[in-house]
Structure 1
Amino acid sequence: MRKTPATIRVAAVDLNGISRGKRVPYTYVDKLAKGAVRLPFSTLNVDVWGEDIADSPLVFETGDADGILLPTSRGPVPMPWLANPSELHPMLLHHDDGTPFAGDPRHALMAVLERYSKRGWQVMAATELEFYLVDDSGDTLKPARSPLTGKTMQTADVLSLDTLDAFDAFFTDLYAASHAMDIPAQAAISESGAGQFEINLNHGDALKAADDAWLFKMLVRGLARKHAMAATFMAKPFADDAGNGMHVHFSVLDADGRNIFNDGGPDGTPALHHAIAGCMAAMPASTLILAPHANSYARMVPGAHAPTGISWAHENRTAAIRIPGGAPNARRIEHRVAGGDINPYLMLAVVLGAALNGIEDGEMPPPAITGNAYDQDLPQLPTDWAEAIDLFATSEIMPRILPTDLIQNMVLTKRQELRKMAGLDIDEQTAIYLESV
């Protein structure tokens, strides 16, 4: 019989994808749906240090007012990385009259999915998450020590079963915990960095996919500590090794359950091409969501397995948008730009919102590329954080996808972080990002 926890956690997600909330007695469980827990609106609009945004209208201008937290459709999940039994109750922030708070990232994704729903469509999505297991016990971050030898991992061993099996205790716990949390963890592989791994989460409803990604990142970090390591999803923890990406695959089902991207052949329907065009058109402005931190831009360099040019292709992993092969009824888009350090709700919101813009506008993409995208003359993504912030702030596309209040909050947050990060060296930045994103 499951032991009733003495306390529970209630949490919403801030703009950086960091959980913000409270620890409350288990007696609160029956009162959560009645708004028993309140939280300042500004809490979801703090910087990566957890500090208020100096010029945010949510702080002094409005008296730092509270909203009410209400449970999401996800329901409570266990927290297997803790020594004592507890539950996490995912929450959404609302105004007192029940109106959704526009600065809540999960609300933003729900609004995009409602646009699909009004057409009778459902978005199915899956994510691929890369992370490093690391040793942060010293002054310099290192790859994790092998549990078999006790020695620091020195080299990558792509798709090595031996490397996976060296960390068998961690991955066995991870799969058991994922099952307990209803996170559909699928294949695990060793990746192209020393101590780097990737786990795919199975496809399903897009909102649940975002929940799964948020919860999975929390789980991996928590279990790593339980196994005397640290885990990080930061985009580029090691300058000379591979970065962490988070690829998303998505398709759209109509009211009869048919994939609107499937025409029975390899090319796909006009809707597929319209969606590709929408994603490409929004890519420069949405880069801030796909690469939200100072460290994100260390990953986005030519030839480093992270897209830098705006293009699409069939079965080509150098392109920003890839159309995987396989059975036509599984025709889908793989968006490959995002780093592992993203907020999954905002990432899915901008990708899916851009795709729907393209469908609504009937846009068509340029021809699919062939060959190495890094060797071709392509429109480029922003090359630095400041440029990405400016493009996001001035975009005419983003207000079609995200609430204007959230856009303003994000810009203020990132400009404050930009100023504060400017005075820090790489090791200091790494210490901040290591487990926060």
Structure 2
Amino acid sequence: MTALPPLDELNAFLAAHEKADAFTLIFTDLCGVQRGKMLRRSEMEAAYRDGRFMPGSIMSLDVTGTDVEETGLVWEDGDADRIARPVAGSLVPAPWESDEAAQFIVRMTEHDGSPSICDPRNVLERVVQRFDEISLKPVAAIELEFYLFDLESAVAGRPVPPKALNGAGRPQHFQAYYLSDLDDFGPFLRDVYKAAEAQGLPARTLISEYAPGQMEIVLQHQPDALKAADQAIMFKRLVKAVALKHGMIAAFMAKPYSDFSGSGMHVHVSLENGEGANAFADADPKGNPLMRHAIGGLKATMAECMGLWAPNANSYRRFRAKSYAPVSATWGVNNRTVSLRVPAGAAETRHIEHRIAGADANPYLALAGVLAGIHHGITKELDPGAAVEGNGYDLPSEPFPLNWFRANEVLRKSAFARSYFGDFLVETFCTIKEAEADRFFAEPTPLDFDFYLRSV
């Protein structure tokens, strides 16, 4: 049975936060949506000791929260409860709400204590454990890009950039690394950093990205890959909540504007050896054989994991040539036109930047897909081929699925995905996404009428 988080962690938190009396329990479903409930202070000891019951159907919802009955996780077992158990180290204040508010992440288990198969955090944990076989440990960091929108326009379905918080108007242009944007939204950004510090999140470099209202904040790498994904989950919640406090909506959609760049989730990964050193470290920027095998595995399995990295209809609007989003299975050194980038830096910092996933992807599943590809490449000693020199968009290369239906089809048929994530997980995820796609494309949009109302 998996060990429970120690009660002394809870007791230490309660002692340090005497006013805390509203604790949000956070479960991240397969679609990456955060769900849960709020507990009172008096309920917390039992939650940490015994866990909390949650309906099993919470693991079979689509992105809108609709039950996907075809998964077999709704009526077949009477929507039986599973047990949500707190994740050690995840109990933190939620300072944007009040000094009474706190939150913690949970993982789902069966009644015998075994991990629930369709909890995405458990999926990532299983992949991480595979690295014990080769005496290596994944080190990961997740970068998230997001857009800020005017609240009223976003709610109305016609989002525009928000007015600057200092009264300087709205951002309108491509202005990468524009310092004025940081000044214009300074109050929001300062509150993000304060909240991140209160939660122990290692929020580091902030940049204004390549579109009006688009930002990126880098989370420092973690020697615990599960913790890196937990921090991405916490950070997304934090950014959204703080933006609302400032009258804005923060969105992690992959492609909210047709004319501006999309938002990615860049996953940075290296491997630590038994001595605690970077196993990818090498004076050659193209890496040592171990790193090249890892890149080979990521290239070889890229198509099979696209459904995880681009899980929504909107995800596929992001993949356009010369848009800073990749469109094929390529790799290169210090090159942002490829899918797998080896950033510039000293030998001891050598790592892989995986640039395919959108900001809308589930961080647990996105990282699981990256690590599975790396493990596969290392164990099979796969060759990545030559690194791309120059503009990767102009070179012939192997494309990956660039539409939702095809990506789900490839994932469902993938023996590789089933071997790392499990048959039931793959079937459940694909069933959810196929049902969601069917509902999405059945609904006429304003664009249908713009294109076809009078012309056909």
TM-score range, shorter chain: over 0.9
Check conservation: 1:13, 1:20, Cα contact below 8 A.
yes
Amino acid at match of 2:344: G
Offset, 1:427: 7.1
* Residue in structure 2 matching 1:418, options 427, 434, 437: 437
Residue 264 and residue 150 in structure 1: after superposition, are their counterparts in 2 closer, same or farther (change >3 A)?
closer
Q: Does 1:120 align with 2:135?
A: yes
The residue correspondences of 1:12-161 to structure 2 (distance < 5 A) are 12-83=27-98, 85-138=100-153, 139=156, 140-149=158-167, 151-161=169-179
CA distance 1:274–1:426, shift in 2 (3 Å):
farther
Q: Work out the CA distance in 1 between the residues paired with 2:445 and 2:401.
A: 21
Residue 70 of structure 1 and its aligned partner are, at CA, apart by 0.8
The CA deviation at 1:423 is 3.0
| 1:266-415 alignment, distance < 5 Å | 266-415=285-434
1:7 aligns with 2:22: yes
- CA deviation after TM superposition for structure 1 residue 77, in Å: 1.5
Structure-2 residue corresponding to 1:265: 284
Q: 1:129 to 1:383 in 2, by over 3 A?
A: same
Helix, strand or coil for the counterpart of 2:108? strand
Distance 1:147 1:7 in 2: 30
Following TM superposition, by how much is the alpha carbon of 1:101 offset from its aligned partner in structure 2, in angstroms? 0.1
Instruction: Tell me: CA distance 1:424–1:192, structure 2 relative to 1, closer, same or farther (3 Å).
Output: farther
3-state SS of paired residue (2:70) = coil
Q: In 2 relative to 1, CA 425–210 (structure 1 residues): closer, same or farther, beyond 3 Å?
A: farther
Contact 1:136 1:230 in 2 (8 A): yes
Q: Secondary structure at the match of 1:306?
A: coil
73-82 or 173-182, larger mean C-alpha shift? 73-82
Kindly provide the amino acid, as one letter, of the partner of residue 221 in structure 1. Answer: K
Moved more, 152-161 or 322-331: 152-161
Tell me, in whole angstroms, the C-alpha distance in 1 between the residues paired with 2:98 and 2:162. Answer: 22
Q: Distance in 1 between matches of 2:132 and 2:396?
A: 38
Work out whether residues 412 and 427 of structure 2, in 8 Å CA contact, stay in contact via their aligned partners in 1. yes
> Structure 1 segments of 4 or more deviating over 4 A?
425-428
User: Is contact 1:268-1:331 (8 Å) kept?
Assistant: yes
Where does structure 2 lack aligned partners over 5 or more consecutive residues?
1-15, 448-456
Alpha-carbon shift at residue 285 of structure 1 (Å): 1.0
Could you tell me which residue of structure 1 aligns to residue 193 of structure 2? 175
For residue 424 of structure 1, report the CA deviation from its aligned partner: 3.4
Residue 118 of structure 2 aligns with an amino acid whose one-letter code is: G
Cα deviation for residue 35 of structure 1 reads: 2.6
Q: Measure, in 2, the Cα distance between the counterparts of 1:196 and 1:11.
A: 26
Name the aligned partner's letter for residue 145 of structure 1.
K
User: TM (normalized to structure 1)?
Assistant: 0.95
Residue equivalent to 1:201: 219
Name the % identity: 36
- C-alpha deviations, 1:95-131, integer Å up to 9, x for none? 0110100100001111111111343322111121110
Distance 2:17 2:57 in 1: 36
Aligned-partner SS, 1:49? coil
- Does the 8 Å contact 1:28/1:36 carry over to 2? no
Kept in 2: contact 1:74–1:208 (CA 8 A): no
Q: How far did residue 7 of structure 1 move? A: 2.2
User: CA shift at 1:280, angstroms?
Assistant: 0.7
Q: Distance in 2 between matches of 1:28 and 1:156?
A: 50
Tell me, what secondary structure is at the counterpart of 1:223? helix
Aligned residues: 428
Please state whether the residue corresponding to 2:152 is helix, strand or coil.
Answer: coil
Alpha-carbon distance, 1:27 to partner = 1.2
Q: Hey, what's the Cα distance between the residues in 2 that align with 1:136 and 1:423?
A: 28
Contact 2:162 2:248 in 1 (8 A): yes
Query: 1:26-47, CA deviations, whole angstroms, 9 ceiling, x for partnerless residues?
Result: 1121112333410112202200
For 1:295, what is the secondary structure of its paired residue? Answer: helix
Taking the aligned partners of 2:446 and 2:197, their CA distance within structure 1 comes to 35
* Contact 2:120–2:365 (Cα < 8 Å) also in 1: yes
Structure 2 length as normaliser, TM-score? 0.91
User: Do 1:156 and 1:195's aligned partners in 2 also have CA atoms closer than 8 Å?
Assistant: no
Q: Which residue of 1 aligns with 2:229?
A: 210
Is the 1:52–1:59 contact (alpha carbons within 8 Å) kept by the matching residues of 2?
Answer: yes
CA RMSD after TM alignment: 1.5
Pairwise CA distance, 1:91: 0.5
Distance, in Å, in 1 between the alignment partners of 2:283 and 2:390 is 25
3-state DSSP class of the match of 1:203?
A: coil
Q: Once the 2 structures are TM-superposed, how far is the Cα of residue 150 of structure 1 from its aligned partner?
A: 5.9
CA contact (8 A) 1:109 1:345 kept: yes
Distance 1:299 1:426, change over 3 A: farther
Among 193, 201, 210, the alignment partner of 1:192 is 210
Aligned residues of 1:245 and 1:340 also touching (Cα < 8 A): yes
- Matched to 2:163, the amino acid is R
What is the Cα deviation at residue 54 of structure 1?
2.5
Amino acid at match of 2:315: S
Distance 1:94 1:427 in 2: 43
Q: Structure 2 CA distance, aligned partners of 1:172 and 1:146?
A: 14
Output the amino acid matched with 2:229. A
> What is the CA distance between 1:348 and its match in structure 2?
0.4
Inter-partner Cα distance in structure 1 for 2:237 and 2:413: 33
Q: Tell me: higher relative CO, structure 1 or 2? Use CA pairs within 8 A at least 6 residues apart.
A: 1
Equivalent residues of 2:286, 2:342 under 8 A apart: no
Structure 1, unaligned runs of 5 or more: 429-437
CA displacement, residues 274-328 of structure 1 (integer Å, 9 cap, x when unaligned)? 1001111111010011111000000011111100011111111100001112111
Tell me the distance in 2 between the aligned counterparts of 1:264 and 1:426: 53
- Give the match's secondary structure for 1:412: helix
